[in-house]
Amino acid sequence: MSTNKPMPVPTEISAPFWEGLKAGRVSIPRCNSCGHWIFYPRRHCDKCWSHDVAWHDVSGEGSLYTYTLTRIPTLPDFADEMPQALAVVELDEGVRINTTLIGLAEDEIRVGMRLKPVFERVRDDGTTLLRFTGIDKTIDLSPADEVAAEPAPAAPSVTKVPVSDEAAMRALVSETFTAWSNEVVVDQALIDEFARLSGDDYWIHTDPDKARKMGPFGGTIAHGALVQVLQSRMKIPLGFEVTGFTNMVNYGSDRLRFPSPVPAGARIQARARVKSVEKMKSGTQLILEVHTHVVGAERPSVINDLVILYM
């Protein structure tokens, strides 16, 4: 998960709500004068203006008032949640809460459906968000999800193409991209390591606090060059293997672009297509157009037209 996602900053007024979530409880204020339930938390009743209010634990169960599925992330940092299932949930006490649904397939979501709370710890400091799922669902939030090395996708059938077979080589050219590679997490530790190696320690990459306050992205972002070289960690299911050459040279890049940033903590993946195959004096030149994306993001973070020379 991108570490640049906005996080709640509890106030003196709201702290009991957020503390409750950490303990797996939904706690909201209620007016002692008129009985009105209050959300978000306030020190007064937004119905009768009494200041005689008290916190109560509630079941957290309710129904779906409305929702939307986003097809473009509301912020690049939410690309890993695509489609975001943004929802308004009406608790049985009558208050409504802006939240997200998890653990539901798109076609399972219905306005009016019964929901129960899910307490998701999103920060090491214990910060917990209140999400919702179907009343009969079981959600496993054990933190094994994204850090665990993801098994590489099952190796696709690989066609061997002799470099001498010009027609077969040219037939590799395609408008269609391959399936996605495995995913790689670009966390702050990796970015810091690259900053040390490359000497590029500009604050937008290395100073999370300053980047959050002064940068345009809400936090640090990976170096474009880092995301580019991480290509080596991503196994792209090309579906072919060129054979019969004596030497294969990485001849550089015809085009290298960084169209969108990779926020610290994001997962990335890559896909590719063969853009061109050309017979040269020195051998056969293949251009592989590699696109690296933040998982779920439509816009690539790196476009690299990689030039490979088979001699």
Partner 1 sequence: MGLKGNAAIVGAAQYRPEKYQTAPRMFHLEQVADLASRALADAGLQADDIDGLVINGPQFHEASVFVPAMAAEYLGLNLNFAEVVDLGGCTSVAMVWRAAMAIEMGLCQAVLCVLPARMAPMGPDEDPAWMARAMRFGGHSTAFGAPEAEFDLPYGHMGQNTGYAMIAQRYAAQYGYDPLAMAKIAVDQRSNALANPEAMFFGKPLSAEEVLASKMVADPLHVLEIVMPVAGGAAVIVASKELAAKARHRGALIKGFGEHLSFKSPTYAADMTRTPIGPAAARAFAMAGIKPADVDAAQIYDCYTITVLLTLEDAGFAPKGEGMRWVREHDLTWRGNFPMNTHGGQLSFGQAGSAGGMSQVIEAFTQISGRAGERQLKGCDTVFVSGTGGVMSEQGALILQGA
Sort 202 into a burial class: Cβ within 10 Å, 0-12 / 13-18 / 19+. exposed
Interface with partner 1 in residues 164-183 (CB under 8 A): none
Among 2, 84, 206, 285, binds partner 1 (CB under 8 A): 84
CA distances from 239 to 154, 255, 293 (A): 12, 23, 20
Among 32, 50, 59, 70, binds partner 1 (CB under 8 A): 70
Give 79 or 238: the residue with its C-beta nearer to partner 1. Answer: 79
Give 8 or 239: the residue with its C-beta nearer to partner 1. Answer: 8
In angstroms, give the least distance from the CB of 144 to partner 1.
23
Q: Are strands 159-162 and 240-243 parallel, antiparallel or unpaired?
A: parallel
Give 40 or 245: the residue with its C-beta nearer to partner 1. Answer: 40
- Residue 54, number of CB atoms within 10 A of its CB: 8
Does 81 help bind partner 1 (rule: CB under 8 A)? yes
Provide the b/e sequence for 130-166 (b: ≥16 CB within 10 Å): bbbbbeeeeeeeeeeeeeeeeeeeeeeeeeebebeee
Does 63 help bind partner 1 (rule: CB under 8 A)? no
Considering just the CA atoms, what is the radius of gyration of the chain in Å? Answer: 25
Among 50, 59, 98, 159, binds partner 1 (CB under 8 A): 98
Interface with partner 1 in residues 21-60 (CB under 8 A): 40
Binding residues for partner 1 (CB under 8 A):
5-11, 14, 40, 65-75, 78, 81, 84, 86-88, 96-100, 110-112, 122, 129, 131, 214-218
